Chain A
Amino acid sequence: MARFIAVRLAATLLLLLALSFIVFGLLHLTPGDPARNLLGPRNPSPEALAAIREKYRLDEPFLRQYFLWLNDVLHFRFGTSIRSDTPVTTLLADRVVLTLQLALMSFVLTVAVGVPLGIAAAWRAGSLFDRTVSVSSVIGVGAPSYAVGLVLLYVFGVWLEIFPVYGSGDGGLDTWWHLVLPAITLAFGIGALAFKVTRTAVASELQQDYVAFAYSRGLTHSQVRALVLRNALIPVATSLGLVFGFLFGGTILVEVTFALSGIGGLLASSVTFKDIPVVQAITLITAAVIALTALAVDVLYYAVDPRVRQRGLR
């Protein structure tokens, strides 16, 4: 157990290190002089250029710059936004709640709709119901959230006027109400994924010998169902953990579509504006959240399922 966790932890740390290198490299990958890029579109004075070179240590060798930057990042010093001249951490703190609200709401939707449908479809595998939902899920997994979002926006926002069209409301319940359409949009694709995972897990569990055995011993349908569900839901739960990571990444498009002022929307506009410190911070934090969720899920899987422990993971 300890060995397994240590290996996974080391792998995650390596991944994050590689990622931080890429993220740091973004500054130098962006066309043009990094110092000018960091000063934004204003025409900089030589003093300002010298100051920014000093501040970002641009005259140091590349690797030294990287390690000094990494040290800052590890202390949560992400620098100052070029566009708004505020510390990046302040910018993020102002927006993170909305993004979390959105992610949470669509996660609940995903679990509440995708999982039960998956169980029901596997239970009646091959039926018209199963085929209909399965084909729909293929469409749902592939459907781009921004297109789905805009079509929903038109139908429910503009045409039927049930939901607000843009923005995140005045806080409290109003914000939740503004998040309904975005959350449905986000849950559309991810719910389809949850459906697929659940259906596969339950269906393959139903093929196991113990199910036939349980039936032949005269257990009732609902007793067998309880047995199967308990076993099938372990992989489902772990993949839902992974889905949460994807959800966080998926918020970018949905936030832009619905003009929500969350982290994702900030990232998109910061990339356009080449506000590099903000882009670096968001990319790194989001990727770290996803990697750490994956780590947690793996460890949890390992702890919960004795079969995995015996086989060893991968």
Chain B
Amino acid sequence: MKRLPITPLVAAVPLAVVAVFVVGAQWLAPDATTQDIYTGVTPPGTDGHLFGTDQLGRDIWQLSIAGAGSAVIGPIVIAIGSMMLGLLLGTLAGYIGGGLDLVLSKYADLLLALPTTLIALVVAGLVDGGYWVTVLVLLVLFSPTDIRIARGAVMAQATRPYIESARVLQLSRTRIMFRHILPNVLPIALATMLLNVAFALVAMSALSFLGFGVGPGTPDWGRQLSDGRDLIGQNWGAVVVPGLLIIITAAAINLMGDWLQERFEQRGAQR
């Protein structure tokens, strides 16, 4: 199926906006956490508050800009970390094989069979470690998919003629693995990583929606949603703005990752 190249362009726009939010939060939203308890909740359009204020009188729009950071940074760390773990273990399993492969594959199978959201919720919630513990828990739970993908890609590469020539040239195993196989696995890894960012974003925000993850008072889309749920009758902005931000960001990353994955798969098939 051939898609118009419009897809990645359309997806890039919201991602660029979110990136600007993350980098420029302190200039774009200087008053994000300024409280005004006397005013409290106001509907959109009141007193220069484009999307109104929440129960603490904080400006919804500025709060949402400030929340972009915690919504995106953790998921990026999760995706990169779990892919590094996946590439390392997957390459070892795929190229060396044998007993090591068996152990690593069984480990990945075990983690893969666990219901991710459930375990993340229970562990992160009970341990109460805050943002970075949640990131770590999700990183570990995300790694098995990456191990499998890396392992599969490495095994597909290992039978190619160029690897055979490298072996004939008596290059060391480490060198073949990391200098020759790894670069060819990277495109698929990149696409998977992007898709993982989207999954992690949804999962992290879900946890903070349930009250775990970020501390109270921190600007965060998931937390805004759970606060906003009780204000839905008084200010729709409190729910709709962070809600749409999560949906649009996740969708844009997914579209981008999906498009990349399809492109790389096509390129692989043509060779």
Contact = CB atoms under 8 A, between A and B. Distances in A.
Interface of A: 15, 18-19, 22, 26, 29-31, 125-126, 130-131, 134-135, 138-139, 141-144, 146-148, 150-151, 153-154, 157-159, 165, 245-246, 249-250, 252-253, 256-257, 267-268, 271-272, 274, 276, 279, 283, 286-287, 290-291, 294
B236 A158 contact: yes
Contacts of B209: 146, 253, 256
A245 B113 CA distance: 11
Contacts of B211: 268, 272
Contact of A144 (B1, B122, B246): B246
9 contacts: A138-B254, A142-B250, A143-B247, A143-B250, A146-B209, A147-B225, A150-B225, A253-B209, A256-B209
A153 B122 contact: no
B67 to A, nearest CB: 13
Contacts of A31: 127-128
Given A142-B254, A253-B210, A150 B126 contact: no
A144 B205 contact: yes
B229 A257 contact: yes
Contacts of A134: 1
A287 B126 CA distance: 18
Contacts of A157: 232
A14 to B, nearest CB: 8
B115 A286 contact: yes
A271 B7 contact: no
A130 B211 CA distance: 39
Contacts of A253: 117, 206, 209-210
Contacts of A250: 117
Tell me the dominant secondary structure on chain A's binding face. Answer: helix
B127 A29 contact: yes
B102 interface: no
B251 interface: yes
Interface of B: 1-3, 7, 110, 113-115, 117-119, 121-123, 125-128, 198-199, 202, 205-206, 209-212, 222, 225, 228-229, 232-233, 236, 239-240, 242-244, 246-247, 250-251, 253-255, 258
A135 B11 CA distance: 11
A295 to B, nearest CB: 10
A71 to B, nearest CB: 22
Contact of A271 (B115, B122, B242): B122
Contact of B113 (A131, A257, A267, A291): A291
A279 B1 CA distance: 45
Nearest to B2: A126
Given A154-B236, A158-B236, A142 B122 contact: no
B227 to A, nearest CB: 11
B210 A287 contact: no
Given A26-B123, A147-B244, A150-B232, 11 more contacts: A22-B119, A29-B127, A30-B128, A138-B255, A139-B247, A143-B247, A150-B228, A150-B229, A153-B232, A245-B115, A287-B115
Smallest CB-CB A-B distances: 4 pairs:
A271-B125, A142-B254, A139-B251, A147-B243
Contacts of A142: 198-199, 202, 250-251, 253-254
B216 to A, nearest CB: 12
B118 A252 contact: yes
Nearest to B256: A138
A146 B225 contact: yes
B1 A126 contact: yes
B3 A131 contact: yes
Given A143-B250, A291-B113, A151 B126 contact: no
Contacts of A143: 202, 247, 250-251
Contacts of A287: 114-115, 118
Contacts of B251: 138-139, 142-143
A141 B195 CA distance: 11
Contacts of A274: 126
A249 B118 CA distance: 7
Given A138-B251, A144-B246, A256 B2 contact: no
Nearest to A271: B125
B35 to A, nearest CB: 23
B257 to A, nearest CB: 9
B100 to A, nearest CB: 19
B122 A279 contact: yes
Nearest to A245: B115
A14 B115 CA distance: 15
A144 B244 CA distance: 10
Contact of B118 (A126, A146, A283, A294): A283
Nearest to B127: A29
A115 to B, nearest CB: 19
A141 to B, nearest CB: 7
A30 B124 CA distance: 10
A274 B225 CA distance: 23
A154 B233 CA distance: 8
Given A142-B253, A253-B206, A147 B121 contact: no
Contacts of B222: 146
Contacts of B114: 19, 287
A286 B121 contact: no
Contact of B255 (A22, A139, A158, A159): A139
Q: Which of B110, B125, B222 has the most CB of A within 10 A?
A: B125
